[in-house]
Amino acid sequence: MDLTNIGIWVALVVIWIATVLAKMAMTRRMTRDHPVSNRPHPPVVSGFFLLNPLRVLLTKGVKAMTHEQHRALGSVFTLSFFGVNITFLVGPEVLDHFFQGSESEISHCNVFEFMVPILGKGVGFGADITTRTEQMRFHNDALKRPKIRNYIGAMLQEVEEYLAKWGQHGTVDIKHEMEQLVLLISSRCLLGKEIREKMLDEAHTLFRDLSGGMSLTSVLFPYAPTPTNRRRDAARAKLAKMFTEIVKSRRRGSSAGHHVQEDDVLQNLIDSKYKDGRPTTEAEVTGLIIMLLFGANNTSSVTSTWTGACLLSHGRWLAAAAEEQREIARRYGDRRRIDHDALLEMDTLHRCVKEALRMHPVIPVFFRKLLRGFTLRTKEGIEYEIPGGHHLASPALFNSRLPYVYRDPNVYDPDRFGPQRQEDKAGGRFSFTAFGGGRHSCVGEAYAYMQIKVIWSYLLRNFELKLVSPFPDTDWSKLVPSPKGNVMVSYKRVPA
């Protein structure tokens, strides 16, 4: 290693230690200055007693660690590590404030500082809270139901064209196929036809370089002059140029009156206006579309793969989902053309996707930074004060398998969401958090279900499918925990 690099790393470590110490000081001050009640704090594991949870965390994962601490300490407990306190919240009963607290009480942005160079200043996590709230409205408007109806045709076309390349029979890695399909759908429905038709490869290479900004070193040191950060910044600048030209060209066309209005999310963001009437700038449109792409791609392709793996390893549900397709195709008259209304009727398939998400959530643990202390009451009726300055963690992958919420939680059983049982509703408001909840819940939920249903309904109508590799383990080394290795599926085309 050359000396310049050593110098950079020493400087980074010093900055990191200084940041942690400053945060510790702030945490103590906030805790001292703003006691909110005389309730006790949650049980704390610290010092020597941290060794066991850390060992379990590192060897068996966060689910096993949460399980042990939950059994020993109850549904709220704090791990204290060199002055950094992480309070775990287990079960839907203690999640109200976590998901619904205002940004001035519970910060989402503090945790996502590393996203600022990716999205750009003035967008999302890098914007002030009023601007950010308005930008969330733009996302919401672009992805709400009536708008999604407009994207279905393009989704279907991408799926048909892609799967037309499959032969009469063969074997594929369904994980790879889902990544490709979702990439194509996103390019078309989110980024727009200019990128999809003319700049697909270049855009994908740039997005890959940009996502280097989510590597561990970049998350810890987002502004350090590392090669990954430099590549990230160069990709960001090129994408900004690309989108600026597209936005300008669309705006020029529309003011000249000879522009055919595009039906994609990009156009919705271009047309969005702040409450004071100001239109979005090109830089903002770029940041907002990048934010959507980051939220959309990995999450959707991984969920689509889990859905397939679950369906193809549970004959009963595969048969039920396939029968639903036959029945809907009979009613709609053509088994190859399915529209938005038909997709809404696919209840069995919808529940199969939802159950895959419950068992394999894409965000295993939600994090927030608590700025102001609050009190909560556990399921057992104990009240705790959680001091300001703590980090909060909601272990979604543990919460989604609580046996008092979900019967036989380790069994793949989509019927638990059916009208007879509705276990997610009976369990309380934050029982199902695969798409988050409250203030920062996923803006793309409806779009994601539609996209996955377009893919799987097409596959079920047109192919006989079989999982020929073992049911995949989870690869926890990925930012979005994914099926590990290849997921091999054999297919045989059903005669038209």
442 binds ligand HEM, rule: CB under 6 A = yes
454 binds ligand HEM, rule: CB under 6 A = no
Separation CA 381–CA 74 (nearest Å): 11
One of 83, 253, 295, 428 touching ligand HEM (CB under 6 A) = 295
Sign of CA dihedral 328, 330, 335, 341: negative
Choice between 353 and 405, CB closer to ligand HEM: 353
Nearby residues of 348 by Cβ (< 8 Å), 6 or more positions away: 317, 320, 321, 324, 414
Going by the DSSP 8-state scheme, the letter that residue 190 receives in this structure is: I
End-to-end CA distance of the chain: 62
One of 115, 185, 363, 393 touching ligand HEM (CB under 6 A) = 363
Structure tokens at 440: 């920062």
Backbone conformation region of residue 422, classed left if phi is above 0, alpha if psi is from -120 to 50, else beta: left
Cβ proximity of 89 and 95 under 8 Å: yes
299 binds ligand HEM, rule: CB under 6 A = yes
One of 366, 417, 430, 491 touching ligand HEM (CB under 6 A) = 366
Nearest to 137 by CA among 261, 269, 267, 244: 269
Beta-strand ranges (E) seen in 338-421 are: 366-370, 374-377, 383-386, 391-394
Nearest distance from residue 405's CB to ligand HEM, in Å? 18
For residue 259, the SS3 value is: coil
Cβ atoms < 10 Å from Cβ of 350: 20
434 binds ligand HEM, rule: CB under 6 A = yes
Separation CA 433–CA 430 (nearest Å): 6
Nearest distance from residue 8's CB to ligand HEM, in Å? 31
Choice between 74 and 436, CB closer to ligand HEM: 436
Q: Which stretch binds ligand HEM (CB under 6 A): 13-21, 372-380, 424-432, 443-451?
A: 443-451
3-state SS track over 415-449? HHHCCCCCHHHHCCCCCCCCCCCHHHCCCCHHHHH
Interaction mask 214-253, ligand HEM, x per CB under 6 A = ----------------------------------------
Interaction mask 153-182, ligand HEM, x per CB under 6 A = ------------------------------
291 binds ligand HEM, rule: CB under 6 A = yes
Choice between 104 and 420, CB closer to ligand HEM: 104
Separation CA 36–CA 387 (nearest Å): 8
Interaction mask 104-143, ligand HEM, x per CB under 6 A = --------------------------------x--x---x
Q: Which stretch binds ligand HEM (CB under 6 A): 70-78, 230-238, 359-367, 456-464?
A: 359-367
One of 303, 305, 325, 348 touching ligand HEM (CB under 6 A) = 303
Binding to ligand HEM, residues 12-41 (CB under 6 A): none
Nearest distance from residue 201's CB to ligand HEM, in Å? 22
Burial class of residue 438 in the structure, from the number of CB atoms within 10 Å of its CB (0-12 exposed, 13-18 middle, 19+ buried): middle
Cβ proximity of 388 and 31 under 8 Å: yes
Structure tokens at 445: 């939920």
One of 285, 448, 467, 489 touching ligand HEM (CB under 6 A) = 448
Q: Which stretch binds ligand HEM (CB under 6 A): 68-76, 277-285, 407-415, 437-445?
A: 437-445
Choice between 366 and 374, CB closer to ligand HEM: 366
443 binds ligand HEM, rule: CB under 6 A = yes
Number of residues binding to ligand HEM, judged by CB under 6 A: 23
307 binds ligand HEM, rule: CB under 6 A = no
Choice between 292 and 454, CB closer to ligand HEM: 292
Determine if residue 310 is labeled as part of a ligand binding site.
no
Going by the DSSP 8-state scheme, the letter that residue 387 receives in this structure is: P
Choice between 90 and 362, CB closer to ligand HEM: 362
Buried b (16+ CB within 10 A) or exposed e, 354-389: bbbbbbbbbbbbbebbbbbbbebebbeeeebbbbbb
409 binds ligand HEM, rule: CB under 6 A = no
Nearest distance from residue 206's CB to ligand HEM, in Å? 19
362 binds ligand HEM, rule: CB under 6 A = yes
Nearest distance from residue 17's CB to ligand HEM, in Å? 27
292 binds ligand HEM, rule: CB under 6 A = yes
One of 88, 138, 417, 435 touching ligand HEM (CB under 6 A) = 435
Distances (CA, A) of 482 to 50, 112, 196, 299, 473: 29, 21, 26, 9, 8
Choice between 178 and 329, CB closer to ligand HEM: 178
444 binds ligand HEM, rule: CB under 6 A = yes
Cβ proximity of 482 and 334 under 8 Å: no
Nearby residues of 72 by Cβ (< 8 Å), 6 or more positions away: none
Choice between 265 and 405, CB closer to ligand HEM: 265
Cβ proximity of 210 and 316 under 8 Å: no
Pick out the residues of the known binding site: 442
Known binding residues for heme are 442
Q: Which residues bind ligand HEM (CB under 6 A)?
A: 136, 139, 143, 291-292, 295-296, 299-300, 303, 357, 362-363, 366, 434-436, 440, 442-444, 447-448
